[in-house]
A and B are shown apart, each in its own frame.
Chain A
Amino acid sequence: MSQMFKKLSPKGDAAGEDLSSHPQDVPLAIHDLTVAYHRKPVLWDVDLDIPEGKLVGIVGPNGAGKSTLIKACLDLIPRASGEIGVYGKPYKEQRHLVAYVPQRESVDWDFPVSALDVVAMGAYRRLGWFRRVTREEAKKAHDCLTQVGIGHLADRQISQLSGGQQQRVFLARALMQDAELYLMDEPFAAVDAATEEAIVSLLRSLSEQGKTCLVVHHDLATVTTYFDWLVLLNMRVVAAGPSETTFTRENLQKTYGGKLSLLEKAAEALRHTID
């Protein structure tokens, strides 16, 4: 299968043989990534270098493969071809540097755990097999919850939290991992204004500490305010680079194709940024 895609790959084999053609120090290097579901490609020949310390937004229409891109980077779904490098080494050797914030709907919020329990899961890698959560780690988990503004809800069972609070629990869990690279799948989806603000300030503080965040985002109106680097995705990478130069009418038209209503929104968003 991977051979087949190699042959079909539009760039062919000339596009660089492996990860060594990418800069070694970038937090995330994606080389010639192709992903297919039931032989239908979802991502095609994605080749990207994500720069360090940036807030990077991934934007594209529904079904563009945004979540798939993140999951493929994390080895959660099989790749038809391609390689992933994290700070110059394969992802498998660098798991401890990467934190993942999945979509909120990906788990069962009726599960019998407290907010603190979920955040403490971020420490499991440090703890390893068999060892229980230590007192220091529990305290740290509490601090992470406080950092996202819901320290007082630590003992709540997670079904008793609002959608925004649940999202913050996920972010606190990622903080707990002490990672260098944060991959987030639609953290802004269906959250209240207070949570949106909390997430933005959290992203900024991560970026100030030199951490890199790659965030799937769907709201074109806020994209340039929140992110300093963008990836426009629709099965392929349409454009990638600093927000100012990447978020153009032409690129958006290429990304969203004939979807008029979305184009309208994009145009409006553009007007906002120009004003």
Chain B
Amino acid sequence: MNWTSFDTWIVVVGALCAVACALPGCFLVLRKMSMMGDAISHAVLPGLAIAFLITGTRASVPMFFGAAIAGVLTALFTQWIARFGNVDRGAAMGIVFTTLFAVGLILIRQAADHVDLDPGCVLYGAIELTPLDTVGQTGIPRAALVNGGALLGNLLIILVLFKEFRLGAFDASLADTLGFSSQFLHYLLMTMVAMTTVAAFESVGSIIVIAMLIVPPATALLLTRKLPTMLLIASLTAVLSAILGHLGAIQIPRWFGMEATTTSGMIALAAGVLFTLAWLFSPSEGLVTKARRHRSEDLSLPESTA
């Protein structure tokens, strides 16, 4: 294998992005709103398109705010439709994000067809090209800085508001009666997800974002019953997915005599594999572990009365 500094940067960008997603993702999973990440990451598309139409550039700052606003609107519309339209939240989410995604596609096709704002690129990203776009003379890819910034922001917010986030996710009514607005906490989390999605967008595409918001936290939840440990394990799973994903993208197709495949897809796949391993072998929850324990109990001790 021919590992270059290029490959190192690709893994670093992937890992930064993955951890940035996994942190707020833990709270999405715990709030049983996993699909909200999916919804927001699709629905930011019209935000990107409108920001582009207004400013006429692909500069990051307006794009960033356009998408963040669209992301928060997704959460808001979902809430409204669920409450006033008398539909369940999953359906409301489905309505909102497909509609916004469609609006985004139409806007891009109609008004921005001749420019380089490619829907395909938005979905799959181009993580392999990120090392080419460096900041000044530093040699650091811009994507590493952007995703690193998102990671730092999420980490700071979660560290500072850990107690409040946990309270809001565990018992929103209690949060309200104690004077911690559960609405505020909800929209803060949605904003974090939207911002993270946008940061990751250009460089790595939304496949990674959707996978990393959910899969590492779900994996961590199989391995621990402590929230701080869960955040840590989710982050480690995210980093591991990035490393294994890129290695797999270079190496696995070669075994079959093919060209390297897409790293984004492989990172998401690696996360899925790690989840499966945790599901099978988790010390407390794993299928295989449980079956084994069962068998050894049958052989040795009479079942203790729980």
The secondary structure that dominates the B interface is helix
Given A38-B86, A121-B167, A130-B160, answer yes or no on A106-B225 (Cβ-Cβ < 8 Å).
no
Instruction: Pick the most buried of B162, B174, B176, B224: most chain A CB atoms within 10 A of its CB.
Output: B174
Bound Cα distance A177, B227 (Å): 23
Bound Cα distance A117, B176 (Å): 18
Bound Cα distance A108, B174 (Å): 13
A132 within 8 A of B: yes
A237 within 8 A of B: no
A113 touches B227 (CB 8 A): yes
Contact flags B127-162 to A (C-beta < 8 A → 1, else 0) = 000000000000000000000000000000000111
**Closest chain B CB from A124 CB (angstroms):** 5
Binds A, one of B55-63, B177-185, B242-250, B290-298: B177-185
Bound Cα distance A209, B17 (Å): 55
Closest to B178 in A: A125
B166 touches A113 (CB 8 A): yes
A106 touches B226 (CB 8 A): no
B114 within 8 A of A: no
Which of A112, A118, A129 interacts with B225 by CB under 8 Å? A112
Q: Which residues of A contact B32 (CB under 8 A)?
A: 108
B88 within 8 A of A: no
Closest to B228 in A: A112
Q: Which residues of B contact A114 (CB under 8 A)?
A: 226
| Chain B interface residue number, banded | 20 to 34
**Closest chain B CB from A138 CB (angstroms):** 12
Contact flags A114-140 to B (C-beta < 8 A → 1, else 0) = 100110010011010111110000000
Instruction: Pick the most buried of A107, A112, A127: most chain B CB atoms within 10 A of its CB.
Output: A112
Q: Which residues of A contact B176 (CB under 8 A)?
A: 74-76
A124 touches B173 (CB 8 A): no
**Closest chain A CB from B25 CB (angstroms):** 14
Bound Cα distance A112, B171 (Å): 13
B30 touches A76 (CB 8 A): no
A188 within 8 A of B: no
A130 touches B161 (CB 8 A): yes
Binds B, one of A95-103, A189-197, A238-246, A249-257: A95-103
Q: Which residues of B contact A132 (CB under 8 A)?
A: 162-163
B161 touches A157 (CB 8 A): no
B180 touches A106 (CB 8 A): no
B177 touches A98 (CB 8 A): yes
Q: Which residues of B contact A111 (CB under 8 A)?
A: 30, 169-170
Closest to B164 in A: A129
A207 within 8 A of B: no
Residues A57-111 near B (CB distance < 8 A): 71, 74-76, 95, 98, 100, 102, 106-108, 111
A112 touches B86 (CB 8 A): no
**Closest chain B CB from A116 CB (angstroms):** 12
Q: Which residues of A contact B169 (CB under 8 A)?
A: 111
Bound Cα distance A130, B174 (Å): 17
Q: Which residues of B contact A133 (CB under 8 A)?
A: 163
**Closest chain B CB from A159 CB (angstroms):** 7
Q: Which residues of B contact A157 (CB under 8 A)?
A: 225-226
B86 touches A124 (CB 8 A): no
A124 touches B163 (CB 8 A): yes
A124 touches B180 (CB 8 A): yes
Q: Which residues of A contact B44 (CB under 8 A)?
A: none
B100 within 8 A of A: no
A124 touches B178 (CB 8 A): yes
Q: Which residues of A contact B171 (CB under 8 A)?
A: 102, 106-107, 121
Which of B30, B160, B162 interacts with A112 by CB under 8 Å? B30
A121 touches B226 (CB 8 A): no
A124 touches B225 (CB 8 A): no
B221 touches A102 (CB 8 A): no
Q: Which residues of B contact A107 (CB under 8 A)?
A: 170-171
Q: Which residues of B contact A130 (CB under 8 A)?
A: 160-161
Closest to A71 in B: B173
**Closest chain B CB from A187 CB (angstroms):** 15
Contact flags B213-249 to A (C-beta < 8 A → 1, else 0) = 0000000010011110110000000000000000000
Which of B160, B179, B226 interacts with A95 by CB under 8 Å? B179
Q: Which residues of B contact A112 (CB under 8 A)?
A: 30, 221, 224-227, 229-230
| A–B Cβ pairs within 8 angstroms, 20 of them | A74-B173, A75-B176, A76-B177, A102-B174, A108-B32, A111-B169, A112-B30, A112-B221, A112-B229, A112-B230, A113-B170, A117-B166, A121-B167, A124-B163, A124-B167, A124-B178, A127-B163, A129-B164, A133-B163, A177-B178
- Give me 10 other A-B pairs in contact (C-beta within 8 A), A100-B177, A112-B227 excluded: A102-B173, A102-B174, A108-B32, A108-B170, A112-B224, A112-B225, A117-B166, A121-B167, A124-B164, A124-B178
Chain B residues within 8 Å of A, Cβ to Cβ: 30, 32, 86, 160-164, 166-167, 169-171, 173-174, 176-180, 221, 224-227, 229-230
